[in-house]
Amino acid sequence: MTHVSITTGARLHFGPLSVSAPAGGRFGGVGLMIDFPRTVITANAGSADLIRGDELTKKRVVEFLHRVRTAVPDHYRVPCEIDVTETIPSHCGFGSGTQLGLAVALAAAIVAKESDPSLKELALRVGRGLRSAVGLHGFQKGGFLVDGGRVESNKLGTLVTRTDFPDDWRFVLASPQQAIGLSGDAEQSAFARQSAMPRLLTAELCRIVLMEWLPSVIEADFARCGDSMFEYGEAVGEFFSPTQGGVFAHPRMAAWADKVRQRGISGVAQTSWGPTLAALCSSDEMAQQLRSDFAGDATWNDCSFQIVSPLNRGAIVNVS
């Protein structure tokens, strides 16, 4: 009996390069895989589908399996026993649906002894990558990723470049408790209401990525990377401010970003629709101090803080 385990990290998405473009690539964007939170699943063939995990996760896995079964030939529709032992929180800006969906699609394919389905095929089976492909490419490759967008609706965004992120750098993630970002129908409605991104803004975002951010990551230039990260996130946040209520989606996170930048830490940006923010630190020691200062301050008791590392590899897949 084939037994498979899959472990994948979460993704930070710092915003698209283009929205509702009249011509050329659409969406695209910049992102990074991180080691935590993460999704861990195990699967093997069974006499019937059996899903173990919390109720929300089980519901999502059942939906993903249904999508997979609808998309594949009969001989690949093998009943699966799937245990989800760790999950990424939903609607916090970590791309939880994409990582879980790809893990389920890949596990189902391996259990059914399907030969090496492509990333595109797996994504289409579970309905992921309809806008950004950062999380898809991150699942496969990890690292710091630039998605060049897509021209046709049935294609994935093109991975323009992928590079390792400095291993010794860290992020402090801050999230307001009891708050979630846009997702699902609400997210689709938000994109529908949002005006087209001006070409000048797309051009400026491309300049930041190509001329500042990417070189700073490759050269491990911490100060330049932090400045680029904030500049990019601020520009994207300004564009989406009519929809999300400001540069940052949550007022507590806007206040936190100000406090962090007052300390001389320039690299602060929101991931996806938030509400989570990420602050770039040059070392674990720096991150520990930043987290400790805020976690130990009663003023910030309504927020949570955690330290994460860049993840420069794709999902770990073990088959036995």
Residue 96 in this model has a pLDDT that exceeds 60? yes
Query: For position 178, what pLDDT does the model report?
Result: 77
Q: Residue range 119-146: average pLDDT?
A: 93
- The pLDDT mean for the chain works out to 93
Sign of CA dihedral 253, 94, 124, 163: positive
Query: For position 115, what pLDDT does the model report?
Result: 87
Q: Could you tell me the two tokens for 236?
A: 């994207």
CA dihedral angle for residue 265, residue 271, residue 276, residue 278, rounded to 10 degrees? -20
- How distant is the alpha carbon of residue 221 from its chain centre? 23
Residue 38 in this model has a pLDDT that exceeds 90? yes
Cα–Cα dist 234/257, whole Å: 11
Query: For position 197, what pLDDT does the model report?
Result: 93
Cα–Cα dist 313/177, whole Å: 30
Any idea where the domains of the chain sit in the sequence? 3-164+312-319, 170-308
Q: What share of the chain is helix, strand, coil (3-state, %, to 5)?
A: 40, 25, 35
Query: In CATH, what number does 3-164+312-319 get?
Result: 3.30.230.10
List, for residues 152-211, the tens digit of each pLDDT value. 767 789 999 999 999 999 999 999 987 665 455 555 565 566 688 999 999 999 999 999
Least confident segment among 20-34, 36-50, 261-275, 306-320: 20-34
Cα–Cα dist 228/241, whole Å: 19
Report the CATH fold assignment for 170-308: Alpha-Beta Plaits (3.30.70)
List, for residues 251-279, the tens digit of each pLDDT value. 999 999 999 999 999 999 999 999 999 99
Q: Is 62 left (phi over 0), alpha (psi -120 to 50) or beta?
A: alpha
Query: For position 21, what pLDDT does the model report?
Result: 64
What backbone torsions phi and psi does residue 59 show, to the nearest 5 degrees?
Answer: -60, -40
Helix H or strand E encompassing 224: helix 222-244
Cα–Cα dist 91/245, whole Å: 17
